[in-house]
A = this chain, B = another copy of it.
């Protein structure tokens, strides 16, 4: 083999393998960014590899297909979020000087996915978009990567809220999930309605508002049971 002229290499200080890894990472970063901005259906491989400064063939070489790329983007940070969630949950303690257990648990659930330690806000928005698009692949990925840790949180919530019925528990978790997804998806609706006074795209600020609201929600009274819609409408909970 002939000596390789340095000018021919995009980054002559690293080996060929490392160059491959660098391209792979650039494609993952570009895909995450564009998926988070336009959804997974609204972005072509060509746009992604162009953003990454590579060719569309490179994406197929590294990831096999577009859905393979989607899964790789997801997998890169999802396991880390689940692990940090579980670690934060394990550190929750009912002790004087700390927030109530419920606040700690809610924060442990929301914070790892929103604070930006795992892929930043673009990965958070990417997950919001994925959940919103609600494809079969997305559902499968969520079950695989998150069902375990989410189950631990359900158990923790049952423990601190022993009087809450299973039905009410799941409905409140539903509200928590919906709020998280809607916040991550960043539709801009509340910014428009509030003329910018409320900005959930600042995920740190969002956490500080959401944790107390969700905790308050979990502490609410049991949903009244009625035999008809009218009965439930006419006998709502008392504040």
Residues of B within 8 A of A182 (CB): 174, 177-179, 181-182
Interface flags, A176-219, vs B, CB<8A=1, else 0: 01110111011111101110011010001000111111011101
> Of B142, B190, B229, which one neighbours A204 at CB under 8 angstroms?
B229
> Of B129, B190, B226, which one neighbours A177 at CB under 8 angstroms?
B190
A151's nearest neighbour on chain B, judged by CB, is B193
A100 shortest CB reach to chain B, Å: 7
Contact (Cβ within 8 A) A183 B178:
yes
> Of B173, B179, B224, B233, which one neighbours A178 at CB under 8 angstroms?
B179
Within 8 A of B (CB), among A56-115: 97-100, 102-103, 107
Number of A residues, CB within 8 Å of B: 74
> Of B42, B171, B185, B187, which one neighbours A198 at CB under 8 angstroms?
B171
With A132-B133, A237-B216, A239-B215 in contact, is A187–B221 under 8 Å at CB? no
A89 shortest CB reach to chain B, Å: 15
Contact (Cβ within 8 A) A185 B100:
no
Residues of B within 8 A of A198 (CB): 167, 170-171, 174
With A167-B197, A212-B224, A213-B171 in contact, is A134–B185 under 8 Å at CB? yes
> Of B42, B139, B220, which one neighbours A188 at CB under 8 angstroms?
B139
Contact (Cβ within 8 A) B211 A220:
no
Residues of B within 8 A of A178 (CB): 178-179, 181-183
Task: Count chain B CB atoms within 10 A of each CB in A42, A103, A177, A216 and give the residue with the most.
Answer: A216
Residues of B within 8 A of A193 (CB): 147, 150-151, 154, 170, 173
Apart from A99-B233, A212-B236, A212-B237, 13 more pairs, CB < 8 Å: A39-B41, A41-B42, A100-B238, A131-B187, A132-B134, A175-B179, A175-B210, A177-B189, A178-B178, A178-B179, A209-B223, A212-B220, A216-B239
A-B CB contact pairs (8 Å), 17 listed: A99-B233, A99-B234, A99-B236, A139-B187, A139-B192, A170-B198, A171-B209, A174-B183, A175-B210, A178-B183, A179-B182, A204-B229, A212-B224, A213-B217, A213-B220, A216-B216, A216-B220
